[in-house]
Amino acid sequence: MTTTNDTAKPPPPNMLQKVVAEAIGTFMVTLAAIFVDVFYFSTGYVDYVSRWVARGFITASVIYAFSDMSGAHVNPAITFGFWLRRLGSWQMFVTYVIAQFAGAFAAAALALRVFGPQMILGASHPGPHVSALTAMLCEIVLTFIVMLVILMTAHEEATIGKQAAVAVGFAVAACGLFAGPISGASMNPARSIAPQVLGGAVALSWIYAVGPLAGSGLAAGMDWLLQGKPNVEEREAATGKK
Domains, the chain, with CATH or none: 15-239 (1.20.1080.10)
How confident is the model at residue 30, as a pLDDT?
A: 98
Angle in degrees, 0-180, between the axes of helices 90-115 and 189-199, rounded to the nearest 10: 40
pLDDT at 241: 67
pLDDT of residue 44: 83
| Cα-based distances in Å from 116 to 63, 105, 113, 133, 159 | 30, 15, 6, 30, 41
Tell me, letter by letter, the H, E, C secondary structure of 120-177. HHHCCCCCCCCCHHHHHHHHHHHHHHHHHHHHHHHCCCCCCHHHHHHHHHHHHHHHHH
pTM of the complete model: 0.91
Burial of 142 (0-12, 13-18, 19+ CB in 10 A): buried
Residues with pLDDT less than 50, the chain: 1-2, 158-160
